[in-house]
Amino acid sequence: MKAVICTKYGPPEVLQIREVEKPTPKPNEVLVKILATTAHIGDTKIRRFEPGLGPVKDFFFKPVMRLILGFKRPRKKILGMEFSGEIESIGKDVTLFKVGDPVFASTEFRFGTYAQYCCMPENGILAFKPINMTHEEAAPVSNGGITALIHLRKANIRKGQKVLIYGASGSVGTYAIQIAKNYGAEVTAVCSTSNIELVKSLGADKVIDYTKEDFTQSGETYDVIYDAVGKIECSKRKKALAQTGIYLNVLAASGNIILKVDDLNTLKDLCEAGKLKTVIDRIYPMDEIIEAHRYVDKGHKKGNVVITVAHDK
């Protein structure tokens, strides 16, 4: 099968398409024909070997990350954290899925979705694809969507609360707007000028253009501030919080979350009810994975960058 191999840490050009052995499912696994994956910010950070926690934390964490991920190159050479596709074969003990089922999933730090095929345990973060979504629309939900859901749930958001989402036009941010609205919150989205109409279309009640206004200077306070890109300065984090408010940072919180298939099914239900949709900025074929990573590295994507995976007929 074809797969994208990360040959070493570095710029997008370290990614190469190669022929590798097609995996065989274990008794409790399914083999999925991947039809769509994403150029996720997590993949690009690992490719660059930049944890992205800030200069000081990165300095201390990099040696640990090398032990976990690999010293000169990722141990898991095939990156990619999420996918949507169809089950091609199943192990002898699998009972939840059958051949031909459309599914979407998160592989987390097992990676492996930059390929034509991937094996998943049937009790992994694997669920039936939302019936009203294409594979391109479904693939990002299992990472960006599930991240936003778990983080916002920690804040115990209630109807009428004021929630500010910083970095509202990115993958996690676009899902967070919709999920917070589903909880009944009043949502203020912080983004750049070019993304104002986008976040409004997703349900944001108010929008702050960070290129023109500092949200901490308005005098407004919020019950929840969700930094969906991990870029709010330390000195500003508490200025706009209500006295009992909660601050969430996508970078700090991500290391403490445990994904569950129930969460993926919750998102599936929201998608099928028309309450959650995927924002797609660009779609690239797998052959153009370098260009896709190069675009994500610029840091200005709207929603998600999707990778389509072709198969011989």
> What is the pLDDT, as a whole number, of residue 56?
47
> What is the pLDDT, as a whole number, of residue 259?
82
> What is the pLDDT, as a whole number, of residue 279?
98
Could you tell me where the DSSP H helices lie in the chain? Answer: 41-48, 55-69, 135-138, 144-154, 171-182, 196-201, 250-254, 261-272, 289-297
State the maximum Cα–Cα separation within the chain, in Å, rounded to a whole number. Answer: 61
CA distance 286 to 278: 20
Q: Which tens digits make up the pLDDT trace of 235-264?
A: 788 889 999 999 999 987 555 567 899 999
> In CATH terms, are 2-143+259-308 and 145-254 the same topology?
no
In the chain, % of residues over pLDDT 90: 79
- Whether residue 313 is predicted with pLDDT greater than 80 in this model: the reply is no
CB-based contact 204:180 (threshold 8 Å): no
Predicted structure pTM score: 0.93
Domain residue spans in the chain? 2-143+259-308, 145-254
> What is the pLDDT, as a whole number, of residue 265?
97
Amino acid at 187: V
Q: How confident is the model at residue 200 (pLDDT cuts 50, 70, 90)?
A: very high
CATH number of 2-143+259-308: 3.90.180.10
Over the chain, what is the mean pLDDT?
A: 92
Radius of gyration of the chain (CA): 19
> What is the pLDDT, as a whole number, of residue 65?
63
Q: Looking at the domain covering 145-254, what would its CATH class be?
A: alpha beta
CB atoms within 10 A of CB 146: 25
Nearest to 111 by CA among 74, 81, 77, 68: 81
> What is the pLDDT, as a whole number, of residue 67?
65
Q: Which tens digits make up the pLDDT trace of 39-85?
A: 988 899 989 888 655 554 555 566 666 666 665 778 889 999 999 99
Q: Which tens digits make up the pLDDT trace of 97-149?
A: 999 999 999 998 899 999 999 999 999 999 999 999 999 999 999 999 999 99
Q: Mean pLDDT across the stretch 266-286?
A: 98
- Whether residue 157 is predicted with pLDDT greater than 50 in this model: the reply is yes
> What is the pLDDT, as a whole number, of residue 73?
74
